Amino acid sequence: MRTVTIKSAEEIKRMREAGKRLNRVHEKLKESIRPGVSTKEIDRVCEELIRSCGCTPNFLHYEGYPASVCVSVNDEVVHGIPREDRILREGDIVSLDTGLIWQGYHSDAARTYGVGKISPKAQKLIEVTRESFFQGIEEAVAGRHLYDISNAIADYVISYGYGIVYELVGHGIGRSLHEPPEIPNFPQRRRGIRLKAGMTLAIEPMINIGNGEVEWQDDGWTVVTADHSLSAHYENTVLITDGRPEILTLL
């Protein structure tokens, strides 16, 4: 089993820069969300934003994935493939998950947005999903344990009666997009590994209004809720320190 890497000061500098650049990409990319836009157009904008800041899209060609961003609409949980004929409509919710490489180091982050005016139910799901991440990182401190993060996310989400996707997890990140450890968002009986300063983690709750069951579509990528309820996703790349965690993909 590969072990969890501890980044050196030099590596952390690059991870910070990768995170900062990805945050800028997300801030610009959200301006492309409007009724009538195709998910493929969002991908074109995303790739251009990543390349124009001197970075490389890390999702593109990852295990054959054909785009720079995953655009997942409504009951799509994650890994929605951008398409020319998939048009966003007022009232949809859409999650944009993307990442980049800067000087050999990866960053990864996801946001969920409403398209135009959305229902209060959809808005609440987006807010609780985002907040569950912040509940999780309250525990993301050196000396605490990995699954303290998982349990904090899970407790918060369960208190709203939402379903936690249990087939997909967060992950370590660094010289690769996916490194150990896996970071579940659902309740764990054990505490997991002890967190250490210099670990970099992509923490990413994926939350459904209905239950946590998901299915894979025939394209081999798109994950949808089994009950077709709405799903939201929120993710940041985080650096563990001896004090409060640094959220590398937020300012």
- Give the binding site for ligand MF3 (CB under 6 A): 59, 62-63, 65, 70, 79, 97, 108, 171, 202, 204
Residue with Cβ nearer Co ion (69 or 202):
202
Residue 77: CB minimum distance to Co ion, A: 13
Residue with Cβ nearer ligand MF3 (47 or 204):
204
| CA separation, residue 1 to residues 6, 113, 168, 192 (Å) | 16, 37, 19, 15
The answer to the question of residue 47 lying near Co ion (CB under 5 A) is no
Dig out the tokens for 113 from the structure: 């947005």
Residue 247, sorted as left (phi over 0), alpha (psi -120 to 50) or beta, turns out to be beta
Residue with Cβ nearer ligand MF3 (116 or 220):
220
Residue 62 binding result from Co ion, ligand MF3, none, given CB thresholds of 5 to 8 Å by partner type: ligand MF3
Among the listed residues 202, 203, 229, 235, the one whose alpha carbon sits nearest the alpha carbon of residue 214: 229
Residue 160 binding result from ligand MF3, Co ion, none, given CB thresholds of 5 to 8 Å by partner type: none
Residue with Cβ nearer ligand MF3 (70 or 195):
70
Residue with Cβ nearer ligand MF3 (96 or 240):
96
Among the listed residues 92, 93, 96, the one whose alpha carbon sits nearest the alpha carbon of residue 82: 96
Residue 230: CB minimum distance to Co ion, A: 20
Residue 70: CB minimum distance to ligand MF3, A: 5
Residue 15: CB minimum distance to ligand MF3, A: 15
Residue 97: CB minimum distance to Co ion, A: 7
The answer to the question of residue 202 lying near Co ion (CB under 5 A) is yes
Residue 147 binding result from ligand MF3, Co ion, none, given CB thresholds of 5 to 8 Å by partner type: none
Binding stretches for Co ion (CB under 5 A)? 108, 202, 204
